[in-house]
Copies of this chain bind each other. A is one copy, B any other.
């Protein structure tokens, strides 16, 4: 088990081909394009004025996130990304 800390989220990236199946296709321009993934675990929330504010995303959400976001980890043979919730743009599906 990997339990992200604070406002961090553990995301399993979804390959581009699978992505298309869900209807998200990235257009062909110069702007940064988000990547899709599935939330696997979430932290206890950001600390604001001494209070933990729960995250908006939850386990199982399909999310769009900044392509360059996060830190890679491999756990039991699978690759994940640990990123801050602020790197996630939207929930899809």
- Using a CB–CB cutoff of 8 Å, the interface residues on chain A facing chain B are 1-6, 8, 10, 23-27, 29, 31-34, 44, 46-51, 53, 56-57, 64, 66, 70-77, 79, 82, 85-86, 88-93
Contacts and interface: CB of A to CB of B under 8 A. Distances in A.
How often does this chain occur in the complex, in copies?
7
A64 to B, nearest CB: 6
Contacts of A86: 6
Contacts of A47: 46, 48, 53
A91 B82 CA distance: 11
A89 B9 CA distance: 9
13 contacts: A2-B91, A3-B91, A5-B88, A5-B89, A6-B86, A24-B75, A26-B72, A27-B72, A32-B71, A32-B72, A33-B71, A34-B71, A48-B50
